[in-house]
Amino acid sequence: MTGMSQYTPYIPKSVLVITAHPDDIEFTCAGTVARWVRQGTRAGYVICTSGEVGIADLSLTKQQAAEIREAEARNAAAIAGVQDVAFLREPDGLLTATLELRKKLVREIRRFKPEVVMCGDPTVVWSGESYINHPDHRAAALAAVDAAFPAAGQPHLFEELRQEGLEAHKPRKVFIYGRGQSDTYIDITETIETKIQALRAHKSQMGDWDPAERIKAWAAERAAGKEMLYAETFQVVTLESDETWKKLQPEE
């Protein structure tokens, strides 16, 4: 693992965000994604479940709830400038980091070929004094980490994916959100309103609550003491050095 300067203006060519539920990205890292997209980054989302148990309305079937939440997720992604959104449709509330889920994520990583994989922290259980990290969050994060390294980059693992035209791909870095100890701060001052607007797209989850004040307070807290108003924070793991990564890239 190599640390990045907290003010390094790193802009990857591509990022694939892997989460458990349709609104996880907007709560955690949409400001960074929107900033990078504005700067030319190709971005994609992989959402492990459709969040179908997240609408507590018994007049709706789980399938109807899933359709609502998937539509909201696509709308939120579009606000951030992201068009590539994949749903794995694993069971919401029952997600586990199985080998089958790892394979599905390896498939998405090899398909998208991201420079950066972004995901949660599988080790976080307790989050503050009033929240326990959702087990789906932990499962998605663990499966994402295991898929990003080493699985996606090992050509003899999940060899059947090669028959789909999906060759091994090792990401350059993994950006982990939701850690207490972060080493990288991304200035989202210019995209904080985009993050809030994207979160508002999840109407089934927001109800009458406007997230603007809370989101700005969280982002300001993360930026405290830094040369920025609002920030998102990450632990960054570098799997390929800058020098090695450049050698691996095809000549333009």
What number of other Cβ atoms are within 10 A of residue 57's Cβ?
9
Class of domain 14-245 as given by CATH: alpha beta
Quote the pLDDT of residue 4. 44
Quote the pLDDT of residue 8. 54
Query: Is pLDDT at 252 greater than 70 in this prediction?
Result: no
- Average pLDDT (95-99) is 98
* pTM of this structure: 0.93
Side-chain-side CA neighbours of 71 within 13 Å: the count stands at 8
pLDDT class of 242 with cuts at 50, 70, 90: confident
Cα separation, 81 vs 99, in Å, equals: 31
Quote the pLDDT of residue 130. 86
Write out pLDDT tens, residues 1-11: 344 444 557 89
Q: Which two tokens stand for residue 49?
A: 């479940």
Cα separation, 233 vs 115, in Å, equals: 18
Q: Can you give the residue ranges of every domain in the chain?
A: 14-245
Q: Which two tokens stand for residue 8?
A: 């390094």
What number of other Cβ atoms are within 10 A of residue 223's Cβ?
20
